[in-house]
Chains A and B, each alone.
Chain A
């Protein structure tokens, strides 16, 4: 018979594992069942102390975003995050997380200064591909493939350079030893 303490230990150990498993399942579900779209990107390459190397970019949604915020008359700092969403069909932008009924596909995010952030502005890459990819993205040849759920959550599916997958488009740069 399991004691109360033993039950507590079991639940405490399973809780994070189950929750992280659910997170992975959710991400995978969005990847497989979400609406797929391609959007052009431009960006630069810093180093993430926690998770290795990544490409940070801005997505070109085809419309100006994070402008004319009714809650911020220009006196707020760039640190503050305002809820916002980008409508992809039809194309549009608005503050707040409530999309209009006419908007059939949207991405939820926040505006920080003039930047719209939806958790999809970073792509992890091997170190040897960093510089070549950065160059191509700076030359505006980059395109991001997104999978978007009905609730507005977007997940990155892939990265294209000139319309072809990044692994085929660039050659790795030899690292100095």
Chain B
């Protein structure tokens, strides 16, 4: 064990153990460590070589192996992993529990691939992933970390979005469907996060949905803003898309209002965020607003979102948003002034204004929030 000699010296100095005992412990550990290290190294080497050899043999003779043997081996492997998970159910080793669940879900995906190969099934990747997502959902709810729910939700959103885009609908054209889905996704994720939060079983999924809501919303706003800066915009924004977004936003706002947490000020900030997000793409893309207005919306959204994230303690994401805000500011100035000198003077003035605003906000924030709390219904 590293640091053991120093530790033993300290214990001896404090009189916890005698010098003879310290020497005996050191001697015992030295002998054991060497033996264990050698043993484990050779065991790992042997197991690794054996495993690779078996896989190589299987790969070389894959075609000669009968279908029943392949399927039977796959079944045995899955049952073996399932049994290992069962034995870990007391969760004495949380990491082992998580790794085994990941292995099981990967095993399910590999099994789907194997069945597809054996029966020459050419269903699309989206259908294979949809099947995988459905069958592994129960086991993923047993996970104690957010990784698997994050991956699961990402895959489901991608697959369902693709399915909705390629499935023809009388009322919606393909472009309309794509725009509506992209625009609505953050709101759908936000609603799912609100609905799933109350139960402990689904809390990790709620967290994962919240993450996706933020991530997709930021991407949509960046894409919307970028489209306003392009010389020609090829998208046609339909009124139906706006109405769908408004419908989702109303549900999200209702969910926010029903929650006991956060505080009233937090609810107000969240609601403003939802409203601003819902309004931005229809106004910028639909009305083909200039990039000035788009910049205003984008920066307001990022500033508000950063404020909320700081409240929530998500400092990294908040910092990222402030960085994006700064970048957008820079782009705006260079677009506005063109030259470096003019842009520089403009930015100095703006920096002074921003710092002044921050100073003013730090003075009035507490009073303003107290006032909001007093005004809120009990």
Contact = CB atoms under 8 A, between A and B. Distances in A.
Interface of A: 5-6, 8-17, 19-21, 23-24, 27, 31, 50-52, 54, 56, 71-72, 76-77, 79-82, 112, 117, 119-124, 126, 155-156
A126 B142 contact: no
Contacts of A23: 115
A51 B108 contact: no
Contacts of A51: 113, 116-117
A52 B117 contact: yes
Contacts of B170: 71
A13 B165 contact: no
Secondary structure dominating the interface of B: helix
Interface of B: 62-63, 71, 75, 78-79, 82, 85-86, 89, 104, 108, 111-113, 115-123, 125, 128, 135-136, 138-139, 141-142, 165-168, 170, 174
Nearest to B167: A81
Contacts of B117: 51-52, 54, 124
A33 B139 CA distance: 34
B166 A119 contact: no
A31 B70 CA distance: 18
B12 to A, nearest CB: 48
Which of the listed residues A71, A123, A124 has the most CB atoms from chain B within 10 Å of its own CB? A124
Contacts of B108: 16, 20
A81 B168 contact: yes
A23 B135 CA distance: 12
A6 B75 contact: no
Contact of A119 (B123, B138, B142): B123
Contacts of A156: 119-120
Given A27-B119, A81-B166, A126 B63 contact: yes
14 contacts: A10-B86, A11-B138, A13-B82, A15-B135, A17-B79, A19-B135, A21-B75, A27-B121, A50-B125, A51-B113, A54-B122, A77-B174, A79-B174, A126-B63
B313 to A, nearest CB: 31
Which of the listed residues B86, B121, B125, B167 has the most CB atoms from chain A within 10 Å of its own CB? B121
